[in-house]
Structure 1
Amino acid sequence: MYQTRASTQNSAAETPMPVLSLKNFTKLPQWDFEDVYNQDAPPRQTTCAQSLRNSVVDSFKKAFLPNIRLFLHKDNINMSEWNRLSHFNNPFGFIGYKYDDVMTSVKLIPKPKEPLLLPKPGGDGCVHCAVVGSAGILYGSKMGKEIDAHDYVFRMNGAVTKGYEEDVGNRTSVYVHTAHSINLSPYFFGKYGYTSAPNDEGIIYVIIPEKIHDFYWLEGLLKGERVSAGLHTNKRPRTYYGGQYNETRFYVLHQDFLRYVRNRFLKSANLNARYWAIVRPTNGAFTLFLALHVCDTVSAYGFMTEDYKKYSNYYVEKTAKTSVIFYSNHDYILEKNMWKKLHDDNILRLYQRTSSETGREKHTTPQGQAENGSKGVKT
């Protein structure tokens, strides 16, 4: 049975609980509050008749929490919350982390402006979003104009657009990343024209606090200083955002939201395996579910589809590989099946190619392929 609960920020707890070790668990631990999440007041009431929130699909209605707490900031975490979240592995919580290592940066995160997105003036009152993954299905798709016609465009990871505008568009409204992905994308995608993270004027940046390195990254970013510890020591985070970093447009996804996405939509059987602690949805999956919570209509492009073997791993690769490489930290097939189900249930529209290499389905039934469905940046 699905459960919810209100914020615990007024709860009192004076000291952090003892640090749990991942070594103590051979599979995903199940706490009696595993499926309990903080929720916020409704960030935006919608009158959009097309809104996915109006879905009558019973399974989706039962699982979907329209008011799930999306963002972490200094005002919605205290010692009680720290202790609760310390029962979950990263990025879903803080198992193995020391309080001071994480809270030094969390205490710097200002309360973000919500709702994240608003209907466009003069529009139909709906928030229409495109979420663009990086799969090879987009190469030659000529979907660029359709993507850019949405009110907002979400991208993640190595979001190369220059030279590929005809297929993937050139607008980015929301960019989702980790410290790992924003640092490694130049190395993996530099030869395809990647120079920096998208930096459209007014862009919103959203970070997934994947590991302890992300909290060190956040500290340096929020202070405007070099990273003081971890994998990215001495790097200057603000130089990675093309001059568009703005504290009022920078968001940190909440651990409850990340865990909710995993538990209710993408709970892999691999969480029972010995390597359970590294298993999590892809950055593309988290981005798509973020869009489902802040938009009324969502179209997904460049996500995994049934015929993924026809295409290259990434749209920047012009030839298909003999086989697609899957990494054990993600359950790509589970995600593929979820995108198809959400498409079939009219929750989102998934871009899918027709049998013709140059053809495509009508706008009413789009598709997609894997966000990071093979090699390169394993995020």
Structure 2
Amino acid sequence: MACQPDDSPLDPINPELVFLGDKYAIDDYMPQTRCPSSIRKKVLQTDFAETFLSSVPVLQWANHFSKAEYERLSHYRGAHGWGSVSIDVLNESLAILNTSANRLMFDDCEKRKIKSQCIRCAVVGNAGILNGSKKGLEIDQNDYVFRTNGAVIKGFEADVGSRTSFYTFSTNTFRNSLRSYARVGYKSAPQSTETRYIFLPDHDRDYILMRAASLHIPITKGKDRSSKPPNYFGSNVTVEKFKMYHPDFIRYLRNRFLHSRRLKSRLRNIYRPSTGAVMLLAALHTCDEVNAYGFMTPDYKKYSDHYYDKVPRRVHFYANHDLQLELNLWQKLHKAGLIKLYMR
């Protein structure tokens, strides 16, 4: 593992470079398929050619930890680095992510009967545009299905499908979903034989929860302290079911794909891509074909905030995300032929 030869994030001459840290670890990435029409090939012919870095690690695992890497990444806080996590918590948590299942997105790819040379992914957001869409069967016919946060499925299968291959969340967004969407049937993370869980870590809570859930031990400290092992992912979950986005990947997405004007405002310390945006862009970097459903489109005002809302609700805009910028990015990726975005 090495680093991109860009300007050092510690260069005192340019404070903005120090904050952004446009320098990332390099993984020797080997595509998991030999798809002749993969996104990685298509992107070279688009306006995203210089933006897209295929070598940035999407997932972090045991081999990414070292004292030198901790020193580098501790300069960035929240989801963009390790500055919000103690070295001991990080070390003991990443140490258990030591298998190919933790390192590879499609760890079961060779066992599956993929119908073509290409991995087709459905990435499902929670936007109201999906209500009444009847896209469920189409979604489930993809090789893999990505979902995030309050992914309510029961009762909405005809519109959103029933499979979940990957579930993206942070401890904070997950617990908020449990509180906010219990009334519409969201009571646990999706659970099935194929489901993998991808943490978007922005705090030590994520590393602590992942370790406790993997080892089936109680959480002994912090905000999520419990006397029993966490059971959000089923009683038989194993460490092979867990993955974690690499903070370099989150920072790269913020810096290069979703470089908001908020980065020059008082909001810059809390701004990051939304959980759904990270999920969709992770699929862009790992799948051969991406079909996106339930993401914001220019006519978003016609629809409720979520497809499962019992009473129509306006879309919420939050200070820590730039949803308008994300909407514009989805349109650009769709027009470039890099994703197929569901629009009515």
TM-score by length of 2: 0.89
User: What secondary structure does 1:251 align onto?
Assistant: strand
Q: Which aligned pairs between 1:56-67 and structure 2 lie closer than 5 A?
A: 56-67=44-55
- The answer to whether the 8 Å contact 2:62/2:96 transfers is yes
User: What secondary structure does 1:232 align onto?
Assistant: coil
User: What secondary structure does 1:69 align onto?
Assistant: coil
Q: CA deviation at 1:71?
A: 1.8
- Percent identity of paired positions between Structure 1 and Structure 2: 38
User: Do residues 135 (structure 1) and 123 (structure 2) align?
Assistant: no
Name the counterpart of 1:16.
none
Flag the 1:179–1:236 CA change in 2: closer, same or farther, 3 A.
Answer: farther
Flag the 1:235–1:44 CA change in 2: closer, same or farther, 3 A.
Answer: farther
Name the counterpart of 1:116.
105
Of 238, 253, 260, which aligns to 1:246?
238
Of 308, 315, 321, which aligns to 1:330?
321
Superposed CA offset, 1:136-171 (max 9, x none) = 000011111111111110001111100000110101
Name the counterpart of 1:209.
201
- The answer to whether the 8 Å contact 1:182/1:240 transfers is no
Within 2, Cα distance between the matches of 1:116 and 1:333? 28
Superposed CA offset, 1:10-58 (max 9, x none) = xxxxxxxxxx9xxxxxxx8522982121121223254323311121434
Q: CA deviation at 1:60?
A: 1.4
User: Do residues 50 (structure 1) and 42 (structure 2) align?
Assistant: no
Q: CA deviation at 1:319?
A: 4.2
Flag the 1:348–1:72 CA change in 2: closer, same or farther, 3 A.
Answer: same
Flag the 1:107–1:235 CA change in 2: closer, same or farther, 3 A.
Answer: same
- The answer to whether the 8 Å contact 2:73/2:82 transfers is yes
Within 1, Cα distance between the matches of 2:138 and 2:115? 17
Segments of structure 2 that go 5 or more residues without pairing to the other structure are: 4-9
Q: CA deviation at 1:294?
A: 1.5
- The answer to whether the 8 Å contact 2:170/2:206 transfers is yes
- The answer to whether the 8 Å contact 2:271/2:321 transfers is yes
Q: CA RMSD in A?
A: 2.2
- The answer to whether the 8 Å contact 2:289/2:339 transfers is yes
User: What secondary structure does 1:155 align onto?
Assistant: strand
Q: Which aligned pairs between 1:30-179 and structure 2 lie closer than 5 A?
A: 30-31=17-18, 34-44=21-31, 46-55=33-42, 56-113=44-101, 114-117=103-106, 118=109, 120-121=112-113, 123-179=115-171
Of 212, 219, 222, which aligns to 1:227?
219
- The answer to whether the 8 Å contact 2:254/2:273 transfers is yes
Within 1, Cα distance between the matches of 2:35 and 2:93? 38
User: What secondary structure does 1:123 align onto?
Assistant: coil
User: What secondary structure does 1:63 align onto?
Assistant: coil
2:105 counterpart letter in structure 1: L
1:337 counterpart letter in structure 2: N
Q: CA deviation at 1:297?
A: 0.2
- Single out whichever of 169-178 and 31-40 deviates more from structure 2: 31-40
User: What secondary structure does 2:217 align onto?
Assistant: coil
Within 2, Cα distance between the matches of 1:237 and 1:43? 36
- The answer to whether the 8 Å contact 1:221/1:236 transfers is no
- Structure 1 stretches of 4+ with a deviation exceeding 3 A read 235-238
Name the counterpart of 2:257.
265
- The answer to whether the 8 Å contact 1:35/1:263 transfers is yes
Of 183, 186, 189, which aligns to 1:194?
186
User: What secondary structure does 1:62 align onto?
Assistant: coil
Within 1, Cα distance between the matches of 2:209 and 2:17? 30
Segments of structure 1 that go 5 or more residues without pairing to the other structure are: 1-5, 9-19, 21-27, 354-379
User: What secondary structure does 2:92 align onto?
Assistant: helix
- The answer to whether the 8 Å contact 1:115/1:294 transfers is no
Q: CA deviation at 1:318?
A: 4.2
Within 2, Cα distance between the matches of 1:95 and 1:243? 32
Q: Which aligned pairs between 1:271-290 and structure 2 lie closer than 5 A?
A: 271-290=263-282
Within 1, Cα distance between the matches of 2:151 and 2:218? 25
- The answer to whether the 8 Å contact 2:85/2:203 transfers is no
1:289 counterpart letter in structure 2: L
Name the counterpart of 2:6.
none
- The answer to whether the 8 Å contact 1:199/1:244 transfers is no
User: Do residues 311 (structure 1) and 300 (structure 2) align?
Assistant: no
Within 2, Cα distance between the matches of 1:252 and 1:320? 34
Q: CA deviation at 1:220?
A: 1.9
- Single out whichever of 38-47 and 198-207 deviates more from structure 2: 38-47
Number of equivalenced pairs: 329
Name the counterpart of 1:351.
342
- The answer to whether the 8 Å contact 1:199/1:243 transfers is no
Superposed CA offset, 1:322-347 (max 9, x none) = x4321101100000000010001000
Within 1, Cα distance between the matches of 2:19 and 2:181? 43
- Single out whichever of 183-192 and 292-301 deviates more from structure 2: 183-192
